[in-house]
Structure 1
Amino acid sequence: MTHAVYPGTFDPFTPGHFDVVGRARHMFDHVTVLVAVNGNKQPSQTTDARATEIERLLPVEWENVSVAAWHGLTVDYCKQHGCSVIVRGVRNSTDCQREFELATMNETLGLTTLFVPTRPALASMSSTAVRALRA
């Protein structure tokens, strides 16, 4: 069974995130949306609250998708839970550069990263933009 993990702070979980999960669930036997902590960000809700919100948003028929809150390194989660692939969405060249650096590091730790390009209609969407619209 191929188990992939899709990590992020997801503050909030956007239509772009939803799209990446929707596509990844067709590529892997199981996908875990990993709601993680990023020391460079100050999320508006706790990790557990964000995970609960994402669980509420996912369609019940997406039986091969789960959500987990995590307070450590993604690679540690993957090793503890048998995940062999990290899924990352990329919107633009800036995302690609940053994600490539992380993917290179994770590859040295034995984890492959799959980049899922954002659909053009969702390319301008980010959690930051969604939070600004809500304010």
Structure 2
Amino acid sequence: MTRAVFPGTFDPVTPGHLDVADRARRLFAELIVLVAVNGDKHPTRDGHRRAAAVREALPPDWHNVTVAAWRGLTAAYCRTHHIDVIVRGVRNSDDVRHEQELAAMNESLGVTTLLLPTRPALAGVSSTAVRALGA
């Protein structure tokens, strides 16, 4: 049974995040939405509060999706928890280039990355844009 993580800051969780999680949960036996605890990104809320917000946003019938907060490399979480795949959403060519670099690093650490393109209707939605709108 293949397990995957979908890591991110989720500050805040957006419809695009939920769409990627929905598609990923259908591909894997278990999906862990992994909320990054990384002070370098200066999130508006701490990791545990962001994880709670993600949990609240998930539909109750998504039985194979859990949420965890994690400080450290995603690949380290994967090794520690016997996870096979990292799922990342990409909105544009800049995202693809950046995610390919991360994917190469994670592959060298023994974890495969699956890039899921954002649906066109959601490509303009980012956590930064949502924060700017005050949502």
- If the length of structure 2 is used for normalisation, what is the TM-score? 0.97
Per-residue Cα deviation, 1:2-56 (whole angstroms, up to 9, x for no partner): 1000000110000000000000000000000000133541100000000011111
Structure 2 counterpart of 1:124: 124
2: CA distance between counterparts of 1:131 and 1:94?
21
Structure 1 counterpart of 2:87: 87
Secondary structure at the aligned position of 1:100 is classed as: helix
Structure 2 counterpart of 1:75: 75
> Per-residue deviation at 1:69?
0.5
Which 4+ runs in 1 deviate beyond 2 A? 37-40
Q: For this pair of structures, how many residues does the alignment match?
A: 135
Map 1:1-135 → 2, pairs under 5 A: 1-134=1-134
- If the length of structure 1 is used for normalisation, what is the TM-score? 0.97
Secondary structure at the aligned position of 1:51 is classed as: helix
The answer for unaligned runs of 5 or more in structure 1 is: none
1: CA distance between counterparts of 2:126 and 2:27?
24
Residue 37 of structure 2 contacts residue 46 of structure 2 at CA under 8 Å; is this kept in 1?
no
2: CA distance between counterparts of 1:39 and 1:102?
19
2: CA distance between counterparts of 1:121 and 1:39?
31
1: CA distance between counterparts of 2:75 and 2:131?
28
1: CA distance between counterparts of 2:113 and 2:75?
11
The answer for unaligned runs of 5 or more in structure 2 is: none
2: CA distance between counterparts of 1:59 and 1:22?
10
Residue 3 of structure 2 contacts residue 28 of structure 2 at CA under 8 Å; is this kept in 1?
yes
